[in-house]
Amino acid sequence: MKADGIGARVTRKEDHRFLTGNGQYTDDISLPRQTYAAFVRSPHAHAKINGVDSASAAAMPGVVAIFTGKDIAASGIGGLPCGWLIHSKDGTPMKEPPHHILAVDKARYVGDQVAVVIAETLEQARAAAEAVSVDYDVLPAVVDTATASKAKASVHDAAADNVCYVWGHGDAAAVDKAIASAHHVSSLDIVNNRLAPNAIEPRAANAAYDKSSDSYTLYVSNQNPHVERLLMCAFVLGIPEHKMRVIAPDVGGGFGSKIFLYAEETVLVWASKRVGRPIKWTADRMEAFLSDAHGRDHVTNVQLAMDANGKFTGMKVTTTANVGAYLSTFASSVPTILYATLLAGQYTTPAIYAEVTAVFTNTSPVDAYRGAGRPEATYVVERIVETAARDMKLDPAEIRRRNFITTFPYATPVGLTYDIGDYPACLDKALKLADYAGFPARQAEAKTRGKLRGIGLSSYIEACGLAPSNVAGALGARAGLFEAGEVRVHPTGKVTVFTGSHSHGQGHETTFAQVVADKLGIPIDDVDIQHGDTGKVLFGMGTYGSRSLAVGGSAIFKAVDKVIAKGKKIAAHLLEAADTDIEFKDGVFKVAGTDKNVPFANVALTAYVPHNYPLDKLEPGLNENAFYDPTNFTYPAGTHICEVEVDPDTGKTQIVNFTAVDDFGNIINPMIVEGQVHGGLAQGIGQALLEGCVYDSESGQLLTATYMDYAMPRADDLPNFQVATHVTPCTHNPLGVKGCGEAGAIGSPAALMNAITHAVGVKDIAMPATSERVWRALQGRA
């Protein structure tokens, strides 16, 4: 293995810049004649807007312009699009009520943007925003997920019962039959709590219009600048795509929340031409809580049918998913395509049916958040499997083993074909690392200290590497899901790689450079990764769904192959040999079976100084593009084991051990992979133990809109993680990789909740399992 090649623990190239304060985030960028925007946001969850009086605000010092929803509507601008069309089981398309970029006649959640104030300074913009007076008639708010479809109020007239769609997936009749003839049916009602994404860098944008070229530049904290540009230009503002450059510079975390096209940056772009000056906006933390798309928020009943041996025969899942006040960019796909297709888990359950009712409520829009649908699916499957083990008096590891899929490829009854995996191997490794066999002794010892000890498993699977475009299209995607890459070899043999993937914490600048350096046999410092700028990168679908390496990396891999293929032709010419006799290894082109060779850098130089060059047959230059469209999803999977101690006097849970054994396929940089797993586990544990958005059920106010009230996991909430991998290489991408960005957040909540309910001896405790909830469960049990 090369010291900085594939498989090496190369320290992250980008960290020096971040740790020394030299990152360039959107808010760091100020343009000549910069102005600042502040949004007037609705203080009400649901209100009719009778009028907006901005006259006195407009007269305040420094105010450049104030725009309302009426101004936007008058210029003929429509609303934000939803990128995925879901059909109800009766065949009707989902309800897609307009999502105005500034509310026109109604505000639909606390934080809904009603007007924008643009001023010379941020303070002036904020002061004037406070002075804008909006005449509201407050309406009753719809908040609760489970009862939204029966609420008296309607969030949108177009969906009087607040139902966006009722989607069915799988074979309902087969499942009913399995349930009717089962030896035992385990059943569970669970809630997947709503989360705020909490990127450390809040959303930000800076939009500028250039009159001389009649074009726009948008700096925006975003995970997929080309998608942002496409959606904003083609679907909202009608700006020709080639007249807009979107730059997503350093981005301080996204977790999904920066995939989406939001109203704020769209308003800024629109207004930048009107005011003829660049406009900058950066959310403050409370705005982030209120206006970032939230995650999860499902209410589910699940039933699992079994035979006498605990073999699963059918599963029925009924879910209500809260999509919030408007359909955010991928909101419709998260509780459907990214959720129900994963309900087979790692098991051979032959019949599965899921029915998902998506409801509108007067809350922030809900969309993809780290894992997006797959954590929800895993939570359903792994909680009911643990429940089934308890019902059947089987060891939780044993019931899993009895039901594991062991032959591949395996077509699930919910539409996916798993290419490869080794679920028993991951389980066994995790059981060993966690010393599962020693648990009873540890439990007994804890009892002597008055502590209740519990252990919980979660054998998760996810579908990553989104996605075969044709499959996604057939499922309703309104976009392709390939990735693009360009490998530009400079005359000196140094390499700049342009990727459509976007790094906002993942470490692409290191991992991708490792791949390229390894393949080209050159030092990693000779490779630079560029991303996040539609002006530089040919195209891209961006980073989410753990797709970057599997899809973006594969595109780069293909482009490098093209570089090598062309290099061979140049080398053949220089070495006076046939193309087919040239081999490339360790950075050197060589005539097979001889010691005649020419190094990579010389070939590069020859490509750009083509004096001795086959100009009649070959173009000069060494610069190759590739697009990679995957043929299948990738299927990272593994087993997480969590061990907890509960203090019965207070209900406080302490995680005493957490083991994660993951199969991510081949590993390029184990250190980065471990970091991704640690971060994902922290977020999954955060969901299970600490986090949760709470809306007041009457007023619809977000009660958890600061860090005084929304509990983020801190280091001392977490144990030292034991992480390990087991590798079965992905069969259908050239790197054999599967993706690792979301697994931690996907697998861990179920492991933790299985452990807590095991310790306490109850069927369920709602997440987050606060001390009081656990204490109450203990009271109920006694």
**Sites of contact with another protein (CB under 8 A):** 123, 127, 649-650, 652, 689-690, 694, 703-704, 707-712, 717, 770-772, 775-776
**Looking at beta carbons only, is 303 or 770 nearer to another protein?**
770
* Residue 448 beta carbon to another protein: minimum distance, rounded to whole angstroms: 17
Helix (H), strand (E) at residue 653: strand 653-663
Please check whether residue 629 is in contact with residue 614, taking contact to mean a CB–CB distance below 8 angstroms. no
* Residue 164 beta carbon to another protein: minimum distance, rounded to whole angstroms: 29
* Residue 689 beta carbon to another protein: minimum distance, rounded to whole angstroms: 8
* Residue 685 beta carbon to another protein: minimum distance, rounded to whole angstroms: 12
What is the C-alpha to C-alpha distance for residues 642 and 659, in angstroms, rounded to an integer?
A: 6
**Looking at beta carbons only, is 292 or 518 nearer to another protein?**
292
Please check whether residue 183 is in contact with residue 311, taking contact to mean a CB–CB distance below 8 angstroms. no
**Looking at beta carbons only, is 722 or 771 nearer to another protein?**
771
**46's tokens:** 């649901």
CA distances from 565 to 393, 487, 514, 527 (A): 60, 13, 20, 19
Please check whether residue 664 is in contact with residue 743, taking contact to mean a CB–CB distance below 8 angstroms. yes
**370's tokens:** 């780290």
* Residue 706 beta carbon to another protein: minimum distance, rounded to whole angstroms: 8
Q: Is 446 helix (H, G, I), strand (E, B) or coil?
A: helix
**Looking at beta carbons only, is 196 or 737 nearer to another protein?**
196
* Residue 414 beta carbon to another protein: minimum distance, rounded to whole angstroms: 36
**624's tokens:** 């190759």
Q: How far is CA 193 from the centre of its chain?
A: 17
**Looking at beta carbons only, is 451 or 558 nearer to another protein?**
451
What is the C-alpha to C-alpha distance for residues 357 and 321, in angstroms, rounded to an integer?
A: 6
* Residue 658 beta carbon to another protein: minimum distance, rounded to whole angstroms: 18
* Residue 121 beta carbon to another protein: minimum distance, rounded to whole angstroms: 12
**Looking at beta carbons only, is 705 or 740 nearer to another protein?**
705
Please check whether residue 37 is in contact with residue 118, taking contact to mean a CB–CB distance below 8 angstroms. yes
Classify each residue of 286-299 as buried b or exposed e, where b means 16 or more C-beta atoms within 10 Å of its C-beta. ebbbbbbbbbbbbb
* Residue 779 beta carbon to another protein: minimum distance, rounded to whole angstroms: 9
Supply the Cα-derived Rg of the chain in whole angstroms: 27
* Residue 124 beta carbon to another protein: minimum distance, rounded to whole angstroms: 11
* Residue 726 beta carbon to another protein: minimum distance, rounded to whole angstroms: 34
**Looking at beta carbons only, is 720 or 779 nearer to another protein?**
779
Please check whether residue 604 is in contact with residue 493, taking contact to mean a CB–CB distance below 8 angstroms. yes
Q: Give the bridge partners for 695, in sequence order.
A: 702
**618's tokens:** 């070959």
**479's tokens:** 């976009």
From start to end of 259-378, where are the E strands? 279-282, 298-306, 312-324, 352-360
**Looking at beta carbons only, is 578 or 703 nearer to another protein?**
703
What is the C-alpha to C-alpha distance for residues 264 and 494, in angstroms, rounded to an integer?
A: 40
CA distances from 450 to 443, 719, 731 (A): 10, 20, 50
What is the C-alpha to C-alpha distance for residues 611 and 256, in angstroms, rounded to an integer?
A: 50
* Residue 450 beta carbon to another protein: minimum distance, rounded to whole angstroms: 12
**Looking at beta carbons only, is 384 or 777 nearer to another protein?**
777
What is the C-alpha to C-alpha distance for residues 401 and 398, in angstroms, rounded to an integer?
A: 5
Please check whether residue 483 is in contact with residue 653, taking contact to mean a CB–CB distance below 8 angstroms. no
What is the C-alpha to C-alpha distance for residues 36 and 138, in angstroms, rounded to an integer?
A: 30
**Looking at beta carbons only, is 660 or 702 nearer to another protein?**
702
**Looking at beta carbons only, is 77 or 769 nearer to another protein?**
769
**Looking at beta carbons only, is 691 or 742 nearer to another protein?**
691
**233's tokens:** 């230009």
